[in-house]
Structure 1
Amino acid sequence: MFEMYLIALAVVALACIVLEEAIHVNKAKTTLLLGCLAWISLFMHAGTREAQHLVSERLDENLLEIASLWLFLMSTMTFVAYLNDKGVVQNFVRSIFPQRLSVRSLLLRVAVFALLLSSICDNVTATLVSLGLIQVFDLDRKTRLKLATLVVFAVNSGGVALITGDVTTLMIFLAGHVSMSELLTLMLPSAVGVLVLAGLFAIKLEGELVLHPVEMRYERVDIWIAAIFFTTIVATMVLNVFFGIPPVLTFLTGLSLMFLIGRTVKSDSEQSRILEYIRQVEYDTLLFFLGILLLVGMLKEIGTLEMLARAYGEFAPEVSNFFAGAISALLDNVPLTAALLKANPVLNTPQWLALTYAVGVGGSLLAIGSAAGILAMSKIEELTFMSYLRYVPALVVAYGTGYALTLALANFIH
């Protein structure tokens, strides 16, 4: 009965996110409140001091994960806020895009850019930079929504073929179920899925865009900070692979270098303003992440994920993998993957590859299913849970295409 009450809290939180536009209450506030109430309830239900101490340890573990994500997001968002304000992103777009291009061409270019960027750096950075591309253009509401949704899907697809691109891919690799060379076969299905979605979105999409010149407002120090940002992205991947250094530590180092470089600016007011860019971080987004991860941690604590792992074994692996990806749109794919690995299902290599693709890309089916989706909701005003929901049929087709191609290609090779 108590577990049903906690699950009900999670359902209410989801309902508040869905109905945000109707109830006019920010989703960050409702999600954070219900996430806190869930853990308070766990403490009150624990009974003994020993049980309360165990709950406290689990909460500390959950908060440590959240704090790492918070600091990582804060670092990345501060860099992007600075570069946007200085016009660096806008001028970068103008250097890689022609002065005139069709909306369909923009759709394809953004899809490929987000896919490639997310394959070499983390999803948060790839999402922020890709969304920055969109915001440069003067687009109507419908086109902006399609592009934002495409970015979410492309970013989640880009990292599944590399252990540096997605945590769940790394988990399955470290468990010894797939090799590096086998993972690389996922690049083709990921790219095809993104192109299928871009093609579906391009139907009935007409018009041409003109890139107007923008004022060059940045100085030498801004070029240095841009260089630090992109060096930090590369260093994050390299240091994590070779030395196991958490990405948050590398990005905080990069952020501190940004502030130190800011000391070279002669104007005292500009020196202080560089530090002020932290204030431009969307803290609504961070609070929303906090609430969501508290609720996911609670569901993990009461054994909901283990129940799903047991249900996984009741069906054929090809079917279970597909729906495991869909479930990752509601639950964090990292604990879900951990629960599935703990269940230790008997799968062959093509089936493990299918699971890797599914849990990496399936979170794209809902706006709240991935970090990329939550960031997009905070950065693109028109994108809400309900507006994203209208594109679910196209997302399912793209996800299903990538999943089917993964199985076909893996079975053909093996």
Structure 2
Amino acid sequence: MEIIIISLALLALVGIAFEEVIHLNKAKSTLFLGCLSWCVLFVFASKHGDTQHMKHMLDENLLDIASLWLFLMATMTFVAYLNARGLVGDVVSRILPGEMSLRRLTLLLAVFSVVLSMLCDNITATLVALGVVQAFKLEVKERIKLCVLVVFAVNSGGVILITGDVTTLMIFSAGHVTIRELLALFIPTLIGVATLAFLMTLGRSRVVTAEVNTHKIEALDVVIALLFFSTIVCTMAFNIFFGMPPVLTFLMGLSVMFLIGGVVNKYHQEVHLLEYVRQIQFDTLMFFLGILLIVGALKEIGVLVWVTDFYFAVDPNISSFAMGVLSSFLDNVPLTAALLKAEPALSDPQWLALTYAVGVGGSLLVIGSAAGIVAMSKMRELTFMQYARFMPQLLAAYTAGYGATLLLAR
């Protein structure tokens, strides 16, 4: 049984790594192999009369998954609406000047990418930020440099709030970090992004211009945007002061959004806000579900004890840094899920350092994060090797941010 489950997990990992080669969506392959793993567990459990125990463990696993899944679904619905209406891109275009120096554009883009990724998912934040880059008349080398900065800044900003990155949400949901502690990562994040921005602005600068295209913002768009930001604020406040689970607050915000749609339909115009649920990136959710099912199966057969042993082979602060680098080769979601299921005994500062590492470390290679994959598909000039040219700067920025996280803990 152990050999079969491990083989299925490795097969899933290969499917994730070579998705572009085999042309099979990793969400489909991972979900199938995750379900198959539990089917195998039940078949072997029935032979030993352990079916009830296995059912209990599956229920526990699904409960953990459901909380994370529903939270992601709620946040993605808000973002799907705002993105479809072009509101986020419009606001950024209105704020940015139409003409500025390249150095100033680099710094502003870094700040915008961090803030956007705190509130939106990484893919949306990357698309919006790249839209800003494309709006300016830039040389190819300049455009590539800004794309690299966007990927790093988006991944960095995602670790500050549970709405920004799946791995941050996973570690928070497991009870290892609090929202108050995550907000403290804002300083290390700024240090890391500022380090990269500084390295990117070395050399000459010139004035660049942009073609800004905006459209009229509807009142309903403003209302939904304010509701989204209010929900984020309430999520943090209610969790800090009342211990309320974030999924409950976000589902409440989502229900208010649907109620607003019902009122608008009756008294003003026909607006089907429920339709935006269909625009959610369900591939991401299915992939997330499949990964957690596989990792849960690995935990049941005791394989994750090896992960803990490997992690504690050296100082956890060094291991976390290495895990961040490893996440640039492997998807950070299964990596984080495996660490969480292995249940290593870490202190609060060490969990915070691990959160930063697995969230930002994937930026070291363009294939190491969803933001990098989106940037590479959006910008033809950005190839694996072009991105890899900036590895020294990216490693320096990642090290600076991670080091600041360790100093902050002291």
Pairwise TM-score range, normalised by the shorter structure: 0.7 to 0.9
- TM, length-normalised to structure 2: 0.77
What residue in structure 2 maps to residue 240 of structure 1?
239
**Separation in 1 of the partners of 2:2 and 2:202?**
46
RMSD of aligned alpha carbons: 4.1
What residue in structure 2 maps to residue 73 of structure 1?
72
Counterpart of 2:157 (choices 152, 155, 170) is 155
**Separation in 2 of the partners of 1:131 and 1:28?**
20
Mapping for residues 218-367 of structure 1, pairs under 5 Å: 218-265=217-264, 270-326=269-325, 329=332, 331-333=334-336, 336-337=339-340, 339-341=342-344, 344=345, 353-354=349-350, 356-366=352-362
Q: C-alpha deviations, 1:262-303, integer Å up to 9, x for none?
A: 233357995353221111112122212122222222233232
Q: C-alpha deviations, 1:308-362, integer Å up to 9, x for none?
A: 2223333244433433445663645366256454xx47x7xxxx63552134332
- Closer, same or farther in 2 for the Cα pair 1:327/1:306, shift >3 Å? farther
Mapping for residues 332-411 of structure 1, pairs under 5 Å: 332-333=335-336, 336-337=339-340, 339-341=342-344, 344=345, 353-354=349-350, 356-366=352-362, 373-374=369-370, 377=373, 381-382=377-378, 387=384, 390=388, 395-407=394-406
Residue 221 of structure 1 aligns to a residue whose secondary structure is: helix
**Separation in 2 of the partners of 1:251 and 1:61?**
22
Aligned partners of 1:111 and 1:194 also within 8 Å: yes
Q: C-alpha deviations, 1:119-177, integer Å up to 9, x for none?
A: 7x6xxx363663353154362784675255224431244359xxxx7664784468xxx
- TM, length-normalised to structure 1: 0.76
What residue in structure 2 maps to residue 133 of structure 1?
128
- Closer, same or farther in 2 for the Cα pair 1:268/1:151, shift >3 Å? farther
**Separation in 2 of the partners of 1:223 and 1:48?**
59
**Separation in 2 of the partners of 1:376 and 1:283?**
19
Aligned partners of 2:153 and 2:193 also within 8 Å: no
| One-letter amino acid of the counterpart of residue 12, structure 2 | A
Aligned partners of 1:130 and 1:151 also within 8 Å: no
Mapping for residues 62-211 of structure 1, pairs under 5 Å: 62-101=61-100, 105-116=104-115, 125=120, 127=122, 130-131=125-126, 133-137=128-132, 139=134, 142=144, 145-159=147-161, 168=171, 171-172=175-176, 187-199=186-198, 208-211=208-211
Aligned partners of 2:304 and 2:338 also within 8 Å: yes
Q: Which runs of 5+ in 2 are unaligned?
A: 135-139, 163-167
Quote the offset at 1:234 in angstroms: 0.6
Residues 139-148 or 234-243, more deviating = 139-148
**Separation in 1 of the partners of 2:27 and 2:391?**
23
What residue in structure 2 maps to residue 215 of structure 1?
215
Identity %: 39
Quote the offset at 1:231 in angstroms: 0.7
- Closer, same or farther in 2 for the Cα pair 1:171/1:71, shift >3 Å? closer
Aligned partners of 2:117 and 2:155 also within 8 Å: no
Aligned partners of 2:320 and 2:357 also within 8 Å: no
